[in-house]
Copies of this chain bind each other. A is one copy, B any other.
């Protein structure tokens, strides 16, 4: 069976992560790459010389001529010439520019599976975690109709910082436990800031207790994801209220989160929480999608886990690892969650979204 040709917008950390994961993918094959003008017109191998982060990707796509992502019409022609069924968007542009660019692709009939934050609060764009709100893709026909788009559409994934607790919370909500409030401190990896990203002078013998814009995303995006769709309109969840402290730590990959949770009146025991998490499965698992982890939430029983270096790669780096599940002195329970920010929280999550959309018939 021949693979579906797809495009990747971006040749930085996330763009390369996409290519690295797609290299072995059973359904999709990267055939088109667009990046900044600096890279445009060069072969991928030359455009990324000296800044390749994954073994094997140069061998896989080194001869693809990189298009200029900013020259949308030319890039579109190239994408179409390559018969791209859709594109993964991993560029780093300003919000307006990014929205315009992604709109242009969708308008030209090329669906956009995006990592960018630009469209996350666009009312008719779904923000997808495949295990949590796969039904939010129901908005796509509404989106297409409103925009007058035929084949194209836009679906995005949320910020990497929320992955380590949103799926666990969702699993509890699905079992009838309302979650009222959440106080979370994240310890985030430097790859989340791209390359060159965080200077080493800030990450040797140091942590930085601030990441610009990150706390707002961490507090708000879960509400859209956990929300409902009524009459073709998303209605954000009212709860949980989230307070986030986002910090940067000297870790390459793997965002950790220390979470205190307050439930509504109905409160699960610690054992019940563990039981729910250990047994949680969702649509991607039922469909056995290629990028789906077998077990979306892995419980670590050791006193000192999860840890980034030991647990981030669990199940293709797509599983969320949780540990230290214990009562909270102030709220009801607390735990530590961990997910691989540039796989589960970026390219891997995007590919899983594409697999879901393919299954649902949106990427025919």
Known: A53-B310, A250-B250. A328 touches B243 (CB 8 A): yes
Q: By the criterion CB–CB under 8 Å, are A251 and B199 in contact?
A: no
A206 partner, pick from B207, B308, B336, beta carbons under 8 A:
B308
- Chain B residues near A244 (CB, 8 Å)? 329
Q: By the criterion CB–CB under 8 Å, are B185 and A219 in contact?
A: no
* Total interface residues in chain A, CB < 8 Å: 62
Please choose the segment from A33-41, A208-216, A356-364 that sits at the chain B interface, where 4 or more of its residues have CB less than 8 A away: A208-216
- Chain B residues near A250 (CB, 8 Å)? 200, 204-205, 249-250
Per-residue B-contact encoding for A302-343, CB less than 8 Å = 1, 0 else: 111111111001100000000110001111001010000000
A242 at the binding interface (Cβ < 8 Å): yes
Known: A50-B302, A201-B252. A243 touches B331 (CB 8 A): yes
A69 at the binding interface (Cβ < 8 Å): no
Find the residue from A50, A245, A247 having the highest chain B CB count within 10 A: A245
Query: In the bound complex, what is the Cα–Cα distance between A159 and B304 (angstroms)?
Result: 20
Q: By the criterion CB–CB under 8 Å, are A205 and B252 in contact?
A: yes
A245 partner, pick from B181, B258, B304, beta carbons under 8 A:
B258
- Chain B residues near A81 (CB, 8 Å)? none
Closest to A49 in B: B302
Query: In the bound complex, what is the Cα–Cα distance between A169 and B50 (angstroms)?
Result: 27
Q: By the criterion CB–CB under 8 Å, are A205 and B207 in contact?
A: no
Query: In the bound complex, what is the Cα–Cα distance between A201 and B196 (angstroms)?
Result: 7
Copies in the complex: 4
Q: By the criterion CB–CB under 8 Å, are A55 and B242 in contact?
A: no
Known: A204-B203, A250-B204. A181 touches B330 (CB 8 A): yes
A236 CB to closest chain B CB (Å) equals 15
Query: In the bound complex, what is the Cα–Cα distance between A236 and B207 (angstroms)?
Result: 34
A243 partner, pick from B309, B323, B330, beta carbons under 8 A:
B330
Q: By the criterion CB–CB under 8 Å, are A50 and B304 in contact?
A: yes
Q: By the criterion CB–CB under 8 Å, are A210 and B324 in contact?
A: yes
Q: By the criterion CB–CB under 8 Å, are A182 and B324 in contact?
A: no
- Chain B residues near A9 (CB, 8 Å)? none
- Chain B residues near A328 (CB, 8 Å)? 183, 243
A347 CB to closest chain B CB (Å) equals 16
Q: By the criterion CB–CB under 8 Å, are B200 and A258 in contact?
A: no
Q: By the criterion CB–CB under 8 Å, are B191 and A201 in contact?
A: yes
Q: By the criterion CB–CB under 8 Å, are A50 and B303 in contact?
A: yes
Query: Could you pull out 16 A-B pairs where Cβ atoms are within 8 angstroms?
Result: A53-B310, A55-B310, A187-B247, A187-B249, A195-B201, A204-B250, A205-B308, A205-B309, A206-B307, A207-B308, A208-B304, A219-B329, A241-B330, A242-B330, A243-B328, A243-B329
Shortest 3 CB-CB contacts between residues of A and residues of B:
A185-B185, A245-B258, A196-B199
